[in-house]
Amino acid sequence: MPRNPCPERPLPRKPHWLRAPAPGGEGYLRVARSLRRLHLHTVCEEARCPNQGECWGGGTATYMLLGDTCTRACRFCAVATGNPRGQVDAEEPRRLAESVASLGLKYLVLTTVDRDDLEDGGASWIAAAVEAVRARTPATGIEVLTGDFRGDGAALGTVLAAAPDVFAHNLETVERLTPRVRDRRAGYRLSLEVLRRAKELRPGLCTKSSLMVGLGETEEEVVSSLRDLRACRVECVTIGQYLQPALCCLPVVEYLAPAAFARLEQIGVELGFTRVAAGPLVRSSYRAGELFGAAGRAREDGA
């Protein structure tokens, strides 16, 4: 059974700029019905994302493959931790493709829990999901947000061979805080190497990463991380406020004001990212289709 000790108790009150509207409306219900009917998971629910109502209301969702139990235990995340012991759902790629087709999605984000219990970390499963969607709805844009595959280059190659439109892997936090924030099997330099290698294997691929702030980092450390990402030729980056999803997760050290995010976004543009999205409620998959479209236009313009 997954281990999820996070108690369902109220968390500290947030500033007014972090209050998202309650989910609802026909678009939201349509996505919810599709997910329930086909027994699919989303990171929107499992990670308790504050943008769930907005994204589902707009007819988009970030699907989470390979179940709802992660083999890692990052201290910022509320997804259940455990050992799935190699179990996979053979019908998941087909059901995913059916859901995407029924909802008419133009852009899709696929992510997974970490599956260190699988030989390739789930890479072949991600590739199978991409291929299933391509076969059913070939015009749908596909972004994959993966783990580090323990640095396995062959596993990374398996995912890239499925030809997603965007490859994303999150740096999550600055180098100094990585050992405290992320699972011990993750690593700051390892994540950079995954992003560097992805670009090396597929030079024309759009690569993307994400950072959380409010965990005790300095602005100088965030800028240093942005420079590290650019050194790996990452094109798109998102920066958002860390929000404690449950009391067992790390507490928020600081709530950054919107002006601080505007400054970080400008710095990212000056460093050469083709697209930067920074804001209190921005998450790695937030408005992902818009972000990819803007990055593509910038590349066409020679940026």
Give the DSSP letter of residue 19: -
Question: Quick one: residue 121, left, alpha or beta (phi over 0 = left, psi -120 to 50 = alpha)?
Answer: left
Least confident of 45-49, 140-144, 256-260: 45-49
Confidence check: pLDDT of 26 > 90: no
Measured CA angle at 111 (ends 109, 115), to 5 deg: 165
Confidence check: pLDDT of 160 > 50: yes
Q: What's the CATH number of domain 22-300, 3.20.20.70, 1.10.287.130, 3.10.50.40, 1.10.1740.10?
A: 3.20.20.70
Q: What's the pLDDT score for residue 191?
A: 98
Give the C-alpha distances (Å, rounded to integers) separating 116 from 85, 195, 203, 238.
9, 19, 27, 26
Confidence check: pLDDT of 55 > 70: no
Domain residue limits, the chain? 22-300
Q: What's the pLDDT score for residue 62?
A: 77
Q: Report the half-sphere exposure of 218 (CA within 13 A, side-chain side).
A: 4
**Mean pLDDT confidence for 9-23:** 64
Confidence check: pLDDT of 159 > 50: yes
Confidence check: pLDDT of 30 > 70: no
Q: For the segment 202-252, what is each residue's pLDDT rounded down to a tens digit?
A: 999 999 999 999 999 999 999 999 999 999 999 999 999 999 988 889 999
Residue 26: Cβ within 10 Å count: 9
Give the C-alpha distances (Å, rounded to integers) separating 298 from 169, 193, 276.
21, 25, 12
